Amino acid sequence: MSFDLSVIPNKNIVLAVTGGIAAYKSAILVRRLKDAGFNVRVVMTQGAQAFITPLTFQALSGNSVHTELLNPEAEAGMGHIELARWADLLLVAPASCNTLAKFAVGLADDLLSTLYLATKSPVWVAPAMNQQMWAAKATQRNLNTLVEDGVHVIMPDAGSQACGDVGLGRMPEPEDLARQVTDYFHKAQRAIAEKFGMLAGRHVVVTAGPTREAIDPVRYISNHSTGKMGFALAAACYAAGAKVTLIAGPVSLDTPNGVRRINVSSAVQMLEISMQMLDEGCDIFIATAAVADYRVAEVAEHKIKKAGDELNVSLIKNPDIVATIAQQQKRPFMVGFAAETRNVEEYAAGKLVAKKLDMIACNDVSRPDIGFASDENAMIVFFAEQYQMQKRDLEKASKQEIAQQLVEAIHDALHNEIEPV
Ligand code: C5P
């Protein structure tokens, strides 16, 4: 399972296409839903097939298209009852007047109307029709009935229509429909995570990326950290139900869905914001940032001009952010990271004690295949003695998978669910 909330994993959409000129937009809708990570199966009424062919939808969805209620071949594959059970959402787009009327009275004379009665999944309809047909009393009466029956009606847009009229009745654009569907699943997923997730109700603060230490107004000292591990952790913590604040050094990564991001530049700024987070109330502090150990003692007010063969810049030690937070009276659960090139385990275990951490995840950055700019990582996790937990080897995997395992490790330590050594 992936924790990337921008893509919805393993959700099934039955897209039912009925007879209307807007059916052509549904072809693009299939693409957009697939792009968002949904599995899509298409059902077409007979009317729909007058506007667009099943082959188009088969090619776009990657699945055969369902058109008949009593087709022995189709029933041998995925029949209407299986299809009804398979759906996490039945989306009827475009929904014709005729289909709305059938749904409202409970007719079951073709595949779609039968499916509507047979499914337990939420049903969404996107009516699309001539503005006069939309305004007709019977249509409005049927829509009211459907709303009372729990169907979600996506309001049509207003504008010029294929028939030449102007008014309400246009199907919203595929991108808009796909976004509404995606938002719905995100919210549902989030509600579950907030209630049952491993970090439900916790505020997690993650530091990520490098820091930038100014030399003069145009130059700085920094490092190669990309922030990928920290961003993956922020996403994983959010997916596990936490409220997440990401304190990010200068990196070019998109903010993970649902995460509050505060951009900083120097180590001193990172510490300042971290301390503010303590005041806000922080339960778990995860320090993935590659903080510069030293900063320039006196930052030049103006650009330093080229002169002489040597230039000496005096450096002074930066505050250790994770160690400073760990010393506070009301301290969160502290997670540190260690990147080493030799004696990896020994140095990491030493840092765990020296910085008064609860957990440390270390990796061997001398390995060319993992770490810094790589999309993969492999780590060893140590816990402070009081947790009585054995070290964990996280084998080479994507940073997303490693992040998920680290969330599990944090959860287990907080609940001390592991057998004592
Ligand atoms: O001492 P070292 O830099 O190897 O320690 C790494 C751990 O300490 C990381 O979790 C890093 O984010 C944190 N750290 C910090 N502030 C510093 C230096 C390191 O929070 N100034």
Residue at 394: amino acid letter: L
Packing angle between helix 174-196 and helix 228-239, nearest 10 degrees? 80
CA of 272 from ligand 1 middle (Å) equals: 15
Q: Which residues form the domain of 373?
A: 197-414
Report the alpha-carbon distance of residue 404 to residue 236 in Å, rounded: 6
Ligand 1 touching residue 114 (CB < 6 A): no
| Residue 6 included in any domain | no
Q: Which of 277, 316, 321, 327 to mutate to test the pocket of ligand 1 (most atoms within 8 A of CB)?
A: 321
pLDDT of residue 374: 78
| pLDDT at residue 2, rounded to an integer | 35
Q: Is 97 a catalytic residue?
A: no
Within-domain flag for 4: no
CA of 175 to the centre of ligand 1 (A): 43
Sequence-distant contacts of 277-283: CB under 8 A, at least 24 apart:
277/203, 277/205, 277/245, 277/247, 278/325, 278/328, 278/330, 278/331, 278/332, 280/203, 280/245, 281/203, 282/203, 282/204, 282/205, 282/245, 282/332, 283/202, 283/203, 283/204, 283/332, 283/333
- Residues 275 and 141 placed together within one structural domain of the fold: no
* 71 within a domain of the structure (yes/no): yes
**Ligand 1 in contact with 335 (CB < 6 A)?**
no
Q: Can you give the pLDDT at residue 10? A: 79
State both tokens at 374: 């790589």
Q: Is the CB of 213 under 6 A from ligand 1?
A: no
Bridge partner list, 254 = none
What is the mean pLDDT for each group of 10 consecutive residues in the chain (421 residues)? 51 97 97 95 97 97 92 69 95 98 97 96 97 96 98 95 88 97 92 92 97 98 94 96 97 96 98 96 96 97 94 96 96 94 91 97 84 81 94 94 97 73 45
CATH number at 75 reads 3.40.50.1950
* Residues 211 and 68 placed together within one structural domain of the fold: no
Residues near 147 by Cβ (< 8 Å), separated by ≥ 6? Answer: 153
370 contacts: CB under 8 Å, gap ≥ 6: 363, 364, 376, 377, 378, 396
Per-residue tokens: 188 = 């549902």
pLDDT the model gives residue 4: 42
302 and 170, same structural domain?
no
274 within ligand 1 shell (Cβ under 6 A): no
Domain termination residue (choose one: 188, 206, 234)? 188
Indicate if 374 and 225 belong to the same structural domain.
yes
Phi, psi of 349 (to 5 degrees): -60, -35
Domain count, the chain: 2
User: Encoding tokens for residue 349?
Assistant: 């275990």
Q: Rounded to whole angstroms, how far apart are CA atoms 80 and 86?
A: 10
**Are 305 and 224 a contacting pair, CB within 8 Å?**
no
Say yes or no: 140 and 250 in one domain.
Answer: no
Give the active site residue among 97, 163, 282, 362: 163
Q: Are 18 and 48 in contact (CB under 8 A)?
A: yes
Distance 417 CA to ligand 1 centre (A): 28
Residue 289 in contact with ligand 1 by CB distance below 6 A: yes
Same domain, 150 and 203: no
Say how many C-beta atoms besides its own lie within 10 A of residue 398's C-beta: 15
d(CA 73, CA 71): 5
* Domain annotation covers residue 3: no
Is residue 5 assigned to a domain?
no
Residues 356 and 222 occupy one common structural domain: yes
Residue 312 domain-assigned (yes or no)? yes
C-alpha 410/C-alpha 238 separation (Å) is 14
Where does a domain end: 132, 166, 188? Answer: 188
In a domain, 1, yes or no: no
Same domain, residue pair 129 and 251: no
Indicate if 359 and 212 belong to the same structural domain.
Answer: yes
Q: Which residue has the tokens 């199966």?
A: 41
The residues pairing with 159 across neighbouring beta strands, listed in sequence order, are 167
The residue among 161, 188, 215 that closes a domain is 188
What's the angle, vertex CA 44, arms to CA 41 and CA 45, rounded to 5? 155
Q: What is the largest CA-CA distance in the chain?
A: 91
Residues 234 and 150 placed together within one structural domain of the fold = no
The reply to whether 224 and 310 lie within a common domain is: yes
- Residue 165 sits in the same domain as residue 243: no
Residue 204 lies in a domain: yes
| pTM of the shown model | 0.78
Length of the chain: 421
| CATH assignment at residue 383 | 3.40.50.10300
Query: Which atom of ligand 1 is found nearest the CA of 335?
Result: 10
